[in-house]
Chain A
Amino acid sequence: AQSVTQLGSHVSVSEGALVLLRCNYSSSVPPYLFWYVQYPNQGLQLLLKYTSAATLVKGINGFEAEFKKSETSFHLTKPSAHMSDAAEYFCAVSDPNTGTASKLTFGTGTRLQVTL
């Protein structure tokens, strides 16, 4: 069974500082990986996705993530945090072998706080 671990339920950074949100996955086959962002009282919005093409994936709002098979990781980064980045971030994995339903397994989320 696939699983996702997000280290750190809360991360606080200063505006302009590097953002690093960690995600490790467990899957018996090369997975598809996603990062979603949730702003307060809203639904989830896709930031970026890895689908076995380039290992460095660029997303919206200046975020990017690198797929590292040897470390089973898919960490999310942004060089310079902005106040508007404050939100909850979810990593999710989809096992290609679960059929076309493509069920997602989510991590427990990381709340990002950005301070002045």
Chain B
Amino acid sequence: NAGVTQTPKFRVLKTGQSMTLLCAQDMNHEYMYWYRQDPGMGLRLIHYSVGEGTTAKGEVPDGYNVSRLKKQNFLLGLESAAPSQTSVYFCASRYRVGGISHEQYFGPGTRLTVT
């Protein structure tokens, strides 16, 4: 199993450009999450999904959109990139069955720079 994979690994955007980050998991997890990691701030939740076709806002959703058309994929979109969105983005997934004690499994991250 590949676990959680993220595409691309690195990207440089100019202000105002758009892009989509792809997260894929092959563990049949119901729940998926997008986080951003900034120095000294830990990880902050952007959006999450509790199942195919559903999405919800997290702590810092402004400037981002998401879609979960297939259970195994969770897409994060930036419609008009801003320098404040320069960050490392992590995707995570988790089982639903068995209660909420199950940990989240993380992808390797996407390093995005907006100039």
User: Which residues does A use to contact B, with CB under 8 Å?
Assistant: 4, 9, 32, 34, 36, 41-46, 49, 51-52, 90, 94, 96, 100-104, 106-109
Contact = CB atoms under 8 A, between A and B. Distances in A.
Interface in B53-80: 56, 58
Given A96-B100, A108-B42, A43 B48 contact: no
Nearest to A44: B106
Contacts of B41: 108
B50 A101 contact: yes
B96 interface: yes
Nearest to A109: B42
B103 A34 contact: yes
B45 interface: yes
B100 A43 contact: no
Nearest to A42: B108
B109 A100 contact: no
Contacts of B94: 102
Contacts of B100: 32, 94, 96, 100, 102
Given A101-B31, A104-B45, A49 B58 contact: no
A100 B50 contact: yes
Nearest to A101: B50
A41 B42 CA distance: 15
Contact of B56 (A41, A51, A101, A109): A101
B4 A102 contact: no
Nearest to A94: B100
A80 to B, nearest CB: 26
Given A9-B40, A49-B101, A106-B42, 12 more contacts: A41-B108, A41-B109, A42-B108, A42-B109, A43-B4, A44-B90, A90-B42, A90-B43, A100-B96, A101-B48, A103-B48, A109-B40
Q: Give the 10 A-B CB pairs with smallest separation, nearest first.
A: A51-B101, A43-B106, A102-B100, A106-B42, A44-B106, A106-B43, A108-B42, A46-B103, A43-B108, A43-B107
